[in-house]
A and B are shown apart, each in its own frame.
Chain A
Amino acid sequence: MSSIEIRLRSQLGDFSLDVSFETPARGVTALFGRSGSGKTSVLRAVAGLVKTPQGLVRVNDEVWQDENRFRPAHRRPLGYVFQEASLFPHLSVRRNLEYGWRRVPEQERQIPFHDVVELLGIGTLLQRTTQSLSGGERQRIAIARALLTSPRLLLMDEPLSALDHGAKQTILPYLESLHDEFTIPSLYVSHDPNEVARLADRMVVLEQGKVIAEGDAATILTRLDLPLAGYDDAASLLEGTVSSHDHTYHLTWISTHGGRIAIAREDLPVGRRARVQIQARDVSLSLRAHSDTSIINILPAKVIDTHDISQTQMLVRLEMDDGQTLLSRITRRSALGMGIREGMHLYAQVKSVALLS
């Protein structure tokens, strides 16, 4: 039973929470939704910080709570990163890190102290007082502090939302490497589609205390019936592997089963998994595979469905030969001119690709 199962039902005044989902016990599952959708309530219930009268929380084969049992938070092997770093002000940085670490029996410590310090780049901060740290540094310490308890589930409640843009950009790579370095499953609460695109493997979308969609992040982010694709920066995610480097033109090729994609040269080993993001507005459509165009990335695809987003523009959801989804934003006029309809085969011309990880 390598999965995480969560079923919660509770009534808090006007707000009712009725959430039920199961997600694989690996990778990052994003709990996505607007503020007030119940994301944080779910996380707090999973942590045991609030008691939900009817609830089931199971992590692999360990039941943390059901109708009869309730393990208090300090007996659940989890790590929790709060929105604000919430470091203990009366303890030094090192003491903060050691707080949880020392409370875990030695034989259960699976993550060495130094690995965490190194991964998060906090070696030089250890002797400092928490008051002297910047927002980004504080959050890195908080993440390290949670990791040092060797958690079996990592819960993160919008860990970047209290940070400015610059600090956010410096922490994201740490979160990504976390994912590669340790095999701790995590639940990541966020309302930012870009953050989710970069970090999440799976998504659970919440609205008014209920799950409205769940599945692979790449699928959910491009579903036209969900509010996500309606954002101006609607985008799709493609997964592939680094297949070769072009030294002459300074390109890196990433191959998927549905076609290969060139990005600006990146120093990545061949065979490494790569995730790229493609903005819907950067994808144009063509009935034939042109060779007389400046665009390098041309992928064959099939139209799945379409959705008008304004009186001028529409989103077209395409499926590549390997089943991955691509979103294209074109004008309704072009769609009419090309006779775009479901099931039609055409070519997606991708003008710009961003490497996420």
Chain B
Amino acid sequence: MASLNDYLLVSGLLFAIGLAGVVLRRNIIIVFMCLELMLSAANLTLVAFSRFHPAPNGLPDYNGQMLVFFVITVAAAEVAVGLAIIVALYRARQTIHTDELTSLKG
């Protein structure tokens, strides 16, 4: 059976890939997906901790799993809002490439 460290390693990799995608990719949809990936990495960590830190009665610590549900809910809401923003952005600017969205440049 895989140990906690294995789970954490996978989760860290997922998070790093997500962060790399957020930082490096120019298409805002991909950036958005990478963001979801980072959330999933966090979820994986939470579930792993829940599994490997049982309560005194032998059951998993459900607090971690509950938090995951919250994260999924928030992520769903975020996707709804975020995609709407992207659609609106595309309508306004005719592009979703972050390189071309620099009107905040000082």
Question: A and B: real partners?
Answer: no
B-side residues, CB < 8 A to A, are: none
